[in-house]
Structure formats: C-alpha cells, structure tokens
C-alpha cells in the first residue's frame, strides 16, 4: 500500500483538498480525508503541488527523436511512450499519418501488439490516408486515397483497444463511416474541406470527434460555417486541440473552449520527434522538417505537427489563455478518456481506477509520474 499526501488532489473534475490518495497494487483504493488516511504501508508527503490523473494524449506521432511512421514497431511505440511518460502522459495513442499501405499495415500490427505489452499504449490513431487532398497539410498527396471496403475490413479486423480513424467525406462515403462507427472505431473528422452540412452528415453517421480543430479544415464564415462551425455548434462532438500558440490564435482557442467547455475539448500534443527531448530536425517520408522557434515546419513553411507535450499544452491553456487549472486538467485527462471510451478505468482518481498519476509542482512542472501504481523510475529500471 502507498499513501500519498501533501498535494491538492484533482480527481478529473474537481479539486479535493486536505485528502490522501491510497494506492494498493496497480489501482486506487481510496481518496480519504487526511485525518482518516491509513497509517500503514509506504507514506509519501509530496510537499505541495497538484496530484492529478496521468495525461491522456490521443494524437502522438513521435517524441524523443522517434517517429512512429519511420519506426512502426512495438519498440518504436515503447520509445515514444517512454519519452512522453516523463512529461506526465500515462496513456496515449501512437499516431500513424498518411503513408504507403505497407507502413499502415505495420503500424496497425505493432499497435495491436503494444496494447498488451507497453504500459499506457491504448491502441492506435490512424490519421490518413483517407482524407481530403485539398486539406492535406504535410501529408504526402501520392498516398491519399479513397477508403475501399477492404480498407474498412482491415481497420476493423486489426482493432485492439481504442482506435481513432481521422477521415474526410471526400474520401469515405457515409455508409462506410457508419460501418466503422458501428464496429467500435472512433471516427474523427479531419483534414477535410467539407461544408457544414457535409460535416453534420458525418456526425450523423457516427463520427464523434474532430481532429486538431481549426487546422487542415474548412473555416467558420457567416454563411459558410465549414467544419469549424459545424463542430462548435454540435454539443456531442469532442474537439482535439493543439494548444501550442502556433496552430491557432489565442482568441480562437478561447472561443472554442467557451463554445465547447472542458467536456468538449480533448487536448492533444500532435507531437513529432523533436517533442519530449528529441532533436530539432527530422525526416518525414524523405522530407526535411525542422523546429523554428516553437513550431515545426516543412521547408516550404507548412506546419508539420508540434513539438510540445501534454504538459506544455496544459501550461499554455492555464498561463496564456487564462483558463482555470481544473478545466485545463479535465481537457488533458477525463475528456480524452471519455472520447476513447476508457473513462471506466483511467482519466479519474477514484476507487478501482488504475493508479496512473502525475504530480505537478505549483508552477506546473512534472515532479513525479506513476503508471499502474509504479513510479517512473521503477518502470525505467525494468529490463
């Protein structure tokens, strides 16, 4: 048994003051008042700060110098997990972007195996190739293609844990979107030039999310609301948001949070290899990408993912956008867990939930991380 005291406890929705968190094995046993805490086991005074659920990031392309597309293996996923775990991420989806069919197949197989082997690996996020060439971003156009029935078969057949598929109606008919959703795939609209009406049809067919709101999608105008407008108007859709100050204007971030609330925004890092301690330059499918200031760009200046971690996103939302810490933490924990349909075991601090925790200092630095009740250093020491 471990008993953690001395920090404010954030349970996924609200702060619990003057309390102790009790861990037994891999799970949370109780949140007790400080006076009623168990006196046995390992007692740890955290000395201030905030104890929260571990961050849940549903869009990680890479980190620590590793790119999932370039290393679509269990070992690649393990390296990415280790890099982001140090920044408080205890659950994530390795994300494969548009690439050759061979790479997608390898990524799906690796992700399926990683679910049972890598702590925190929840499944996979397939971002392309079934997107709209008009909103491709840095995705290579030669690999963008319509989704055929055999592609849907392959996705459904390889699903283990949570699977997000980012797609656009330009490449995927509504009946195929419905088939994916009915099979348990989390469909997210993204990289799309759809009208608001087309976006609403995608939502009606079963899509439940939008990938990196504002970026690579049709924008909001007064008589042509686009994907952005349709998303902000629909209370049932969860928005991914890259809160780095580069992918959108601060006022645009605030507008989205005001429209959707903390239950409708699931922060993502959209991290590439430079994030979480990686080098400033990397290759994406033979093209040179680099960190310039706080953003990642291709040589033509196109945004190429992000160089942040989820800790950075929380910090930006709180310090720059002025959003209360409780709301920012909800967007990094419980909301993505709900989106991925794993909020029955992660995303909260409550009895029976997995003891995935991050201890943040008062200035929002990561002081300690636990995954399934094990400290970071214990995990890293395991061969």
Nearest to 294, CA basis, from 305, 286, 283: 305
Question: Residue 352 burial by CB count (10 A; 0-12/13-18/19+): exposed, middle or buried?
Answer: exposed
- The Cα 283–Cα 66 span in angstroms is 10
- The Cα 241–Cα 101 span in angstroms is 27
Say whether 234 is catalytic.
no
Could you write out the DSSP letters of every residue in 266-290? Answer: EEE--B-TTGGG--SEEEETTEEEE
Contact indicator for 291, 274 with CB cutoff of 8 Å: yes
- The Cα 72–Cα 122 span in angstroms is 15
Question: Residue 301 burial by CB count (10 A; 0-12/13-18/19+): exposed, middle or buried?
Answer: exposed
Nearest to 353, CA basis, from 340, 372, 378: 372
Q: Residues with Cβ < 8 Å from 119, sequence gap 6 or more? A: 81, 85, 90, 371, 372, 379
Contact indicator for 126, 96 with CB cutoff of 8 Å: yes
Catalytic residue among 132, 193, 244, 270: 270
Residue tagged 């995608």 (tokens) = 202
Could you write out the DSSP letters of every residue in 326-350? Answer: HHHHHHHTHHHHHHTT-TTTSSS-S
* Residue 36 backbone phi and psi in degrees, to 5: -100, 10
Catalytic residue annotation: 270
């Amino acid at each position: 048994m471990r008993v953690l005291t001395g920090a404010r406890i954030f349970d996924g929705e609200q702060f619990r003051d003057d309390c102790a968190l009790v861990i037994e094995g891999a799970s949370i046993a109780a949140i007790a008042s400080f006076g009623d805490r168990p006196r046995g086991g390992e007692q740890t005074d955290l000395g201030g700060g905030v104890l929260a659920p571990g961050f849940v990031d549903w869009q990680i392309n890479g980190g620590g110098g590793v790119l999932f597309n370039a290393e679509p293996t269990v070992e690649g996923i393990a390296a990415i997990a280790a890099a982001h775990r140090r920044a408080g991420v205890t659950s994530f989806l390795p994300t494969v972007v548009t690439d050759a069919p061979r790479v997608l197949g390898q990524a799906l197989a690796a992700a399926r195996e990683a679910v049972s082997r890598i702590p925190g690996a929840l499944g996979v996020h397939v971002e392309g190739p079934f997107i709209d060439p008009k909103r491709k971003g840095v995705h290579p156009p030669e690999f963008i293609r319509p989704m055929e029935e055999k592609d849907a078969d392959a996705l459904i057949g390889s699903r283990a844990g949570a699977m997000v598929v980012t797609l656009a109606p330009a490449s995927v008919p509504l009946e195929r979107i419905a088939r994916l959703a009915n099979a348990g795939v989390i469909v997210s609209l993204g990289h799309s030039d759809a009208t608001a009406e087309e976006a609403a049809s995608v939502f009606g067919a079963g899509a439940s999310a939008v990938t990196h709101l504002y970026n690579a999608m049709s924008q909001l105008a007064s008589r042509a609301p686009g994907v952005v407008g349709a998303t902000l108007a629909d209370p049932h859709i969860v928005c991914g948001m890259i809160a780095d100050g580069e992918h959108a204007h601060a006022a645009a971030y605030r507008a989205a949070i005001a429209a959707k609330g903390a239950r409708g925004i699931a922060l993502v890092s959209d991290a590439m290899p430079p994030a979480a301690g990686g080098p400033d330059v990397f290759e994406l499918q033979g093209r040179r990408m680099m960190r310039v200031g706080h953003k990642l760009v291709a040589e033509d200046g196109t945004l190429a993912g992000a160089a942040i971690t989820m800790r950075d996103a929380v910090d930006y939302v709180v310090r720059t956008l002025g959003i209360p810490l409780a709301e920012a933490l909800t967007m990094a924990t419980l909301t993505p867990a709900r989106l991925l349909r794993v909020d029955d075991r992660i995303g909260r601090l409550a009895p029976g939930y997995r003891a995935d925790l991050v201890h943040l200092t008062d200035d929002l630095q990561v002081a300690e991380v636990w995954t399934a009740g094990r400290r970071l250093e214990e995990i890293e020491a395991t061969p």
